Amino acid sequence: MSPRRRDFQLEAFRQGDDRIASWQLINTLLPTALLWVSVPTLAAAGPALRLLLLPVLLLLVLFSARSFALMHDCGHESLFKTRWLNRPVGFLLGCLNAIPQHPWSRGHAFHHKHNGNWDRYRGPSALLTLSDYLALSPRQRWFYGLSRHPLMLIPGGCYYLLVRPRLELVLGVAEWLTSMASHLSQKGLAGLAELPKLNRNFRSSHWYTSAECIDLFANNLLVLTSWWLMGSWLGHGLFWSCYLFVMTLSAALFLCIFFVQHNFADSYASGNEGWDYQRGALEGSSNLEMPAILNWFWADISFHSIHHLCERIPNYRLRACHEANAVLLEDCARLRLEDFPSSFRYVLWNSDTKKLLTLTEANVSVANC
């Protein structure tokens, strides 16, 4: 019999600590700033010192991933004790990561609410059902397999952080202008009086609430300004070559972590009917057995089953909570670095058997048809 949520010790670990959270910000943002300051010095140095640019950029990748993890905690309102701290800090960390934090966190909350329900999931690692895959042409199947290849994390990461938030703003504004223009073309000048009401009632397909819209605008304003300032300081060639490297690999890294923590052999893969929140948390999330240094950079998100059981537990209490409930978590999936490649094979969902499948298993189904 699987444990029930009330069997777990969770409440004692929910309380945030502003001192710990502040120290986490300092030990993330200060090294990030110092590493960026070293970039022009190393770039202008002789060939021997210039070689140090690579380890500096790799460290920036890791610190960028850590700042994203702290932003993630702000979205859950768990990093600090109060919303009035989590909200502005999350916004600023979102600017550092070039992604609007509020819309991202709302989408991430949907993932938490429906984890393990593959009928509901929509996101970077959304999967085709087996029946949908079998209905594709051979060329389309090949393209789907290519799109789910681990190497696609690199262009996918670049798009996810650097392109998509800018594109959503442009498309959302274009959608709004089209709506206003359509109204005026139908009503003429008389329609001007109705524009305030129309504007209040406008619903974009690129944001869901006015708060998301404001966050998207503000994030883009600060991000684009920071790009211009950094380019003016470092030189646009040096800045963009370093920045693209850092942000692309950072995004690829956390997309990789997200994927393997939910796509693995025997992961809980329900549909709408019969879906269970707790099974999604315990059986649909893997716990990563990682080197301590990587756990530090990923802010202990490796302890993922506990995180899904109670997202209000701050990252700096996840390990202790996991250890306090170790007996109840014995049956939860554990993955190591060497298990990551096999997890990337599970890119289909069999809605009949409620299992994740590999393309090889699906192609056997094709051969047997």
Segment 248-302, tens digit of pLDDT? 999 999 999 999 999 999 999 999 999 999 999 999 999 999 999 999 999 999 9
Position 202 in a domain: no
Q: Give the pLDDT score at 215.
A: 96
Position 171 in a domain: no
Position 348 in a domain: yes
DSSP conformational letter for 156: H
Contact in structure between 247 and 98 (CB atoms under 8 Å) = yes
- 55-to-46, 236, 239, 289 alpha-carbon distances in Å: 16, 21, 16, 24
As averages over each run of 10 residues, the pLDDT of the chain (369 residues) reads 79 94 98 97 88 96 98 97 95 98 94 92 80 92 93 94 95 88 76 74 83 95 98 97 97 95 93 92 95 96 96 97 95 94 94 93 71
Q: Report how far residue 117's alpha carbon sits from residue 277's, in angstroms, rounded to the nearest whole number.
A: 9
Position 298 in a domain: yes
Q: Report how far residue 199's alpha carbon sits from residue 191's, in angstroms, rounded to the nearest whole number.
A: 12
By DSSP bridging, strand 287-288 and strand 334-335 are parallel
Contact in structure between 338 and 264 (CB atoms under 8 Å) = no
Q: Give the pLDDT score at 369.
A: 56
Q: Give the pLDDT score at 47.
A: 85
Six token digits for residue 246: 């850092």
Position 183 in a domain: no
Residue range of the domain that includes 223: 5-163+208-368
Position 169 in a domain: no
By DSSP bridging, strand 355-358 and strand 346-350 are antiparallel
Position 188 in a domain: no
Q: Give the pLDDT score at 275.
A: 93
Q: How many CB atoms lie within 10 A of CB 330?
A: 9
Please tell me the pTM assigned to this model. 0.92
Position 176 in a domain: no
Which helix (H) or strand (E) covers residue 60, if one does?
helix 53-75
Q: Give the pLDDT score at 1.
A: 54
Six token digits for residue 104: 């991202």
Q: Give the pLDDT score at 237.
A: 96
Phi, psi of 288 (to 5 degrees): -95, 130
Q: Give the pLDDT score at 320.
A: 97
Q: Give the pLDDT score at 193.
A: 74
Q: How far is CA 78 from the centre of its chain?
A: 17
Number of domains the chain is built from: 1
Q: How many CA atoms are closer than 13 Å to the CA of 136, on its beta-carbon side?
A: 18
Strands of the 128-129 sheet, one edge to the other: 128-129, 346-350, 355-358
Which pLDDT tens digit goes with each residue over 30-40?
999 999 999 99
